Amino acid sequence: MPAAPPMGSNTTADLYISPNAPPATPDVAGVKIFLQPRHRNIKPSSLYDYIIWCDASIAVYQVAGVQASFYVPDKNGLQYTVNFSAIEGRGTGLARRACYCTRPEPSSAALAADV
């Protein structure tokens, strides 16, 4: 299992790469992550509300037609869709992957059931 990011972790997640999705077995299970809300994004052209920090060895694919999603704390949890990611500190002992994520909008059925 990959190590936690250098700043530690505050939860775990299951990583799915499309077309794989729950309830199937995750592509990477039990990833140690640090989930950071970023509701005051100062770059309006970059759409993300959360940063998920994980070990740099976690392969989060970013190619046309392929979507990566983290489910926190596991495949039955909340979905965070990765919009883009980057490795910070490459080549150092502090290398980590930053995944810039959004949460999908709830469906109207889910909103109606929440009343």
**How does pLDDT run across 6-25, given as a tens digit for each residue?**
678 899 999 999 999 999 99
For the cut 70, the answer to whether the pLDDT of residue 45 exceeds it is: no
DSSP state of 11: E
Q: State how far the Cα of 43 lies from the Cα of 65, in Å rounded to an integer.
A: 25
Rounded to a whole number, what is the distance in angstroms from the first to the last CA of the chain?
A: 40
Task: Tell me if 69 sits within 8 A of 16, measured CB to CB.
Answer: yes
For 31, the 3-state DSSP assignment is strand
DSSP 48-110: -SEEEEEETTS----STT--EEEEESSTTSEEEEEEEEEEESTTSTT-EEEEEEEPPPPPHHH
**How does pLDDT run across 67-115, given as a tens digit for each residue?**
999 999 999 999 999 999 999 999 888 899 999 998 887 665 555 555 4
Task: Tell me if 53 sits within 8 A of 7, measured CB to CB.
Answer: yes
pTM exceeding 0.85: no
Domain boundaries, the chain: 11-113
pLDDT at 48: 85
